[in-house]
Chains A and B, each alone.
Chain A
Amino acid sequence: MTRQVLRSIFTTAAVAATVAVAAAGQTGSWTPSRLADGQPDIRGHWISDAVGGAHSVEDGRDPDADVIQGRVDEKNPILIVDPADGRIPYQPAAAARRQQLLRDIFTPTRREHVDPHIRALLDGVPRNNYVPGEMQILQVAGAVVILYESNHSYRVIPLDGPHPPAQVKLWMGDSRGRWEGNTLVVDVTNFNEDTWIDSHGTFHSDALHVVERWTPAGLDRIDYSVTLDDPKVFTRPWKMAFAVNRNRDKNYEIWEDSRHEGERDVDSILSAGRKEKAAGITGVHEHRREGR
C-alpha cells in the first residue's frame, strides 16, 4: 500500500515535469513516428490530466475532500467543453433521476446508491481514462491495446471489423478504432447501463455511443476528446476534452490492483447511510465549481 502511494507521488512528479516541458516545446502540429504497419506510434505509459477532476465531470473534485486530503493547489481541470455552460444536457426525466441519485449518494441505503467504482466494478469508457492510475498503450498489427492500472481493466481496440450484435452488452463497451491522419478515432458501442461516468451519478443507458479522439500533440502529450451521445438520456451529444501526459519513468511497470479482493467500504457506507436516513438526515450531494 505504501509502495503504491510512493509510486503515485513519483508518477505525479514525473508528469508535472512532463507537462512543463511539453508546454514549453510545443508549437503547431506534431508528427509522430510510424510503426512497421503504418500506425502512428503512441505507445507508452500515460496519465490523464483529468485524474482528480473526475469526482464530477461537471463540478470537479469535492472541495471538502480536497481540504481533508491536502490537495488544494492541485489542478482541477474543466472537462466538459461542449455545451459551453459545462452542464450535461439531460432530458427532463433523466435530470430527475440524476437528482434522485444525488440524494441517494448523500444517504445511501442500497448498493445501487453506491458508485460502481467503489463497488470494484469496471469503470467503462470514457471514465477509465480519468480515474486515478496510469494507462499503458501497446500497439500490435491491427490493434491498439490499453492496459489500465485501476482495477486491472483493459481494452483491445481492433482497427477493423464491425461491432458485435446489439444484444451483446459489455461493461467496457466494444471499441473499434481507425486512424484519421495522426488521430486515433475509437467508436465505442455495446455498453450495458450499469456504469457511471463519474461519482456524481452521471448515468447513461445501453444506447450510449462514445467516440474518442486520441491526437498526439507532442512526444509526451496526447490531446484527448470524447463525444457522448445517448438518445435515451441526453438531449444532444456532449463533449469532454483533456490532455494525457506521458509518464516518463522508463522503468514503470503496471502492477496488480486487486480492487474487489480487498473491498470493505460498501458495507460501512451503507451502514452509515442507513443510520443517517433513520435519524431523519437527508440531503443532496452537491458542490458547484466556482464561476460555473
Chain B
Amino acid sequence: MSARKARASMAAAALVAIASSAAGQSLPRASDGKPDLSGIWQAVNSAAWNILPHPAEPGVPGGLGVVEGNEIPYTPAAAAKQRDNFANRGKLDPETQCYLPGVPRATYMGLPFQIVQTPAQMLMLYEFDHTVRNVFMNSPHPTGSIQWWMGDSRGRWDGDTLVVDVLHFNDQTWFDRAGNHHSEALHVIERYTLIARDHINYEATIEDPKIFTRQWKMSMPLYRRLDRGMRLLDYECVRFNEALHPEPADAN
C-alpha cells in the first residue's frame, strides 16, 4: 500500500513537472483565442482493463488506477452487479460485442482519437469502431427520453478548459473490462485542459444516483501522438467479430 502511494505521488509529481514546464511555453491557440486541442491523442495507462488499481496478470498490465481515492462509491446492489459482471466479463463486456464504448471509456481503450476543433462544434473521432462524438458548443441538450450509446455531448469553455457535459446514455456500456458499470441516469462532466503543447489533463466526473452513493472522478493525462505520418487508422471490430463466429453448420 505504501509502495502504491509512493508510485501515485510520483505520478502526481511528474504531472506537476509537465505543468510547470508548460509555464514558460505558450500554448497553441485557435483563431478565436481558445486553446487549440486539435490533434491525435491517446491515454497511456491500463484503465482499459480496470480503472481501479490492479496487479498485472497474463496479458493484462498492472495499473495505478485512474479513479481519485481509488474507490468507486457503488450502492450495495450495484457493487454486487459489478462482481457478477467481472466474473462473467468474457461474455458480458459490451466491448466483446463491438458495441459503441460509451463515455468516458472511449477515451482510454488503448487506441488513439482525434479532436477536430471549430468554435461552434468539436468532433471527437475514435479509432475503435469508428466511434464519433459530435460535441455541440454552447447549446442545450435535447429534451425528452433519449438513450444513446455515446450520450449527447454539449461543450463550453471554462477559461482555458473545455468542459463537456454528457447526458442521455443507455445502461449498456461499461467503464472498463472489469465490469464497472452505470445506469441510463449516468451524467458525465469531462474537462480537457491543455497543460503543454503535447499534453492534455483529462478529468471525468461521474454521477449516477441509481448506481453510486456520491459523485466520483477519474483523471489521466492524454498524450499527443507524434509518430511520423500519424493519422487515425481503423479498428473495425464488427468485422473481426464476424471472423470469430464461424458460419452456422447449415451454410452451403
On whether the two chains bind one another, the answer is yes
- A110-B252, A111-B247 as given contacts; A254 in contact with B134, CB under 8 Å: yes
The answer, yes or no, to whether A253 is at the interface (CB within 8 Å) is: yes
> Quick check: A111 and B238 within 8 Å, CB to CB?
no
> Quick check: A145 and B116 within 8 Å, CB to CB?
yes
Q: Interface residues of A toward B: which range? A: 35 or more
Point out the residues of chain B lying under 8 angstroms from A258, CB to CB. 99-100, 148-149
* Shortest Cβ distance from residue A213 to the other chain B in the assembled complex, whole angstroms: 22
**Complex: how many Å from CA A153 to CA B100?**
13
- Interface size of B by Cβ–Cβ distance < 8 Å? 36
> Quick check: A171 and B236 within 8 Å, CB to CB?
yes
Q: Which of B38, B121, B136, B236 contacts A122 (CB 8 A)?
A: B236
Secondary structure type dominating chain A contacts: loop
> Quick check: A261 and B123 within 8 Å, CB to CB?
no
The answer, yes or no, to whether B222 is at the interface (CB within 8 Å) is: no
Binds A, one of B9-17, B85-93, B178-186, B225-233: B225-233
**Complex: how many Å from CA A36 to CA B32?**
12
- A138-B116, A140-B118, A174-B231 as given contacts; A152 in contact with B132, CB under 8 Å: yes
CB contact list, A169-224 vs B, under 8 A? 170-172, 174, 194
Which of A119, A151, A153, A261 gathers the greatest number of chain B CB atoms within 10 Å? A261
- A111-B242, A152-B131, A253-B136 as given contacts; A122 in contact with B229, CB under 8 Å: no
Residue of A at shortest CB range from B129?
Answer: A260
Ordered by A's residue number, 7 sampled pairs between the chains whose C-beta atoms are within 8 Å are A110-B247, A143-B116, A145-B123, A153-B132, A154-B125, A154-B130, A256-B100
Interface residues of A (CB under 8 A from B): 36, 109-111, 119-122, 138, 140, 143, 145, 147, 151-154, 156, 158, 161-162, 164, 168, 170-172, 174, 194, 253-256, 258, 260-261, 270, 274
Interface residues of B (CB under 8 A from A): 31, 38, 98-100, 114, 116-118, 121, 123, 125, 129-132, 134, 136, 148-150, 172, 229, 231-234, 236, 238-239, 242, 247-248, 250-252
